Structure 1
Amino acid sequence: MKHYAIVVSMYSQLLGVSYNVCSFNILVNCFCSHLFSQVKVKGIRPDIVTYNCLIHAMYNFGQQEEATRLFNKMMDNNISLDIVTYDILVDAHCKDGKNSKAIDTIDTMKKQGIELDVVTYNILVDAHCREGMVFEAIDTVDTMIKQVIEPNVVTYNALINGHCLQNRMDKARKVFHLMIKKGCAPDISSYNIMINGYCEDRRIEETMELFHEIFQKGPIPDTVTYNTLTQGMCQLGRVSSACELLRKMLAFGQVPNVVTCLNLLNGLCKSDKLEEALELFRAMRNSKLELNIVCYNILIGGLCKSGHIEVGKELFHKLSVYGLKPDVYTYAIMINGFCKQGLPDEAY
């Protein structure tokens, strides 16, 4: 027996405590299945929108088999697939790395007299770019233009990302300027992709130029922007600049997440700025951020590396108090720390 009232009650209780995306996904899936069954019980015939919503949710939750069964049920019930259904299927195949299946789906779609839309083309462009097939992606864009479908910001972002993934930043910049020339305004994702590309290529001057350009052109920097920049700065050893970015982030009302703090914590520890690292760690623990074992591993590693093995050991023994268990990296850090300090007995 399925006790949906209990599920609803549990969900209400969860709102008052910390829970993860897995718990939430289980609840959403439960509600989707329940609502769909209730539609049929009440004598309401599900339409194309009903099926599309549910299939999309199932694919998003990694339930390919259930989605396929529902898709077959649509066919059995003689429900004609629309462009949205096909876009969902093409997207699912591409995300699974099954591009050939995606092409087969598009061929079926064409035989049904359904023309590709900008969403379909964007899915294909993005899939090609992620596979490193940028020239194929460009050909796809040329095809959509011939079909009198204008590329949008999603199309250009996919192409920019494709060039960035291959460290072709000059070509990425050309596409970035092309979209502006064509009257398509870059969004914050456009800037984030470019900033990440420049950071990966260790071209910090161009990175900061783009960052300052954001404030002049309009898009508001988000957490991804700051996280990308802080990580890039720390990797280049410019930890003070990364800390300055955190202050700027707070001044503009952006709330740092655990990734922001991990970037800075790692940078401070690698730069032997242990006092600042401990201060940041205490601030993280006093905030509403949910600290995982990675946070503790970084700090314990920094302490051990700097010769503060006893402090690291104390933090190691407190993990259970914080509801955490050491992982293989935690043990490796501690063993390495003890050995470097000439304390093999402690290590074993």
Structure 2
Amino acid sequence: MFSRMELLGVSLDAYSLNILINCFCKLGHVGFGYSVLGKMLKLGVEPDIVTFSTLIDGLCKQSKISQAVSLFDEMIEKGYQPNLIVYSTLLNGLCKIGSTDKAIRFLRMMEGRGFSPNIVAYNTVIDCLCKHCLIKEALDLFSELKVKGIKPDTVTYSCLIHGMCNSGQQKEATRLLNEMVNNNISLNIVTYTILVDALCKEGLIDEAVDMVDTMRKARH
């Protein structure tokens, strides 16, 4: 279709070329996406923030995080202002590969450039920290978001409770569970499963059965 457009002499702009880049990236062919970027420059079509964000997203989905960060840096050097989508995409990519230090620095970079991280951004980093048993750092972020007036949600608590259970901090996990209840934050199937699994591993089968009963009643 794209070749047919060229043969028919249909003028190509950033909008149509970005669609082609997006198609390639979704098909897992980021290299072809870069080829389209080269074609844009050759035709004198100025890439925009959508061009870069699409390529960054494609790279992150293929776990090519270092290349995504390099493209992000290149975008900054050329004077493009990243939007919240770009920041969130890269943050998620860094967490995906377990780069906790870089993820936290990136979170700070967002703030420094005027983008206030939302609960989704915080949850992404907290989940990454908990999965790498960095519970203290996760709790520090948890305290930080509350100070900033950002309301923790079910995902926030579930990530922390899972981290606590995996680290053998059952009492702290119970405290967070009670905090959820006191703050009227609903437990979902993930939260219940985490707690049941932790109780079973501790050999507290009766308590695990009680938790399942509580879950059933809550769902009704």
Change (3 A) 1:276 1:144: same
1:201 is displaced (CA, Å) by 1.6
SS of the counterpart of 1:232? helix
> Quick check: 1:235 aligned with 2:166?
yes
1:108 is displaced (CA, Å) by 4.8
- Of residues 137, 149, 153, the one that matches 2:80 is 149
Distance 1:74 1:213 in 2: 52
Q: Which has the higher contact order (CA 8 A, sep 6+)?
A: 2
Q: Give the count of matched residue pairs.
A: 220
Distance 2:152 2:199 in 1: 24
1:272 is displaced (CA, Å) by 1.6
> Quick check: 1:246 aligned with 2:177?
yes
SS of the counterpart of 2:79? coil
Structure 1, unaligned runs of 5 or more: 1-69, 290-348
1:287 is displaced (CA, Å) by 3.0
Distance 1:109 1:254 in 2: 49
Distance 1:275 1:82 in 2: 65
Q: Is the 8 A contact 1:223 1:256 kept in 2?
A: yes
Distance 1:249 1:103 in 2: 46
> Quick check: 1:166 aligned with 2:67?
no
Change (3 A) 1:87 1:215: farther
> Quick check: 1:256 aligned with 2:187?
yes
Structure 2, unaligned runs of 5 or more: none
Structure 1 residue identity aligned to 2:181: L
Aligned to 1:27: none
Q: Which moved more, 1:73-82 or 1:250-259?
A: 73-82
Aligned to 1:287: 218
TM (normalized to structure 2)? Answer: 0.81
1:88 is displaced (CA, Å) by 4.9
TM (normalized to structure 1)? Answer: 0.54
1:137 is displaced (CA, Å) by 1.7
Q: Is the 8 A contact 1:157 1:193 kept in 2?
A: no
Higher-Rg member (1/2): 1
Aligned to 1:138: 69
- Of residues 191, 197, 204, the one that matches 1:273 is 204
1:214 is displaced (CA, Å) by 0.8
Q: Is the 8 A contact 1:239 1:264 kept in 2?
A: no
Aligned to 1:215: 146
Structure 1 residue identity aligned to 2:28: G
Q: Deviations over 1:61-80 (max 9, x none)?
A: xxxxxxxxx98999999987
1:203 is displaced (CA, Å) by 0.8
Change (3 A) 1:282 1:86: farther
Aligned to 1:97: 28
1:87 is displaced (CA, Å) by 4.3
Distance 1:158 1:123 in 2: 10
Q: Which moved more, 1:130-139 or 1:85-94?
A: 85-94
Change (3 A) 1:225 1:96: farther
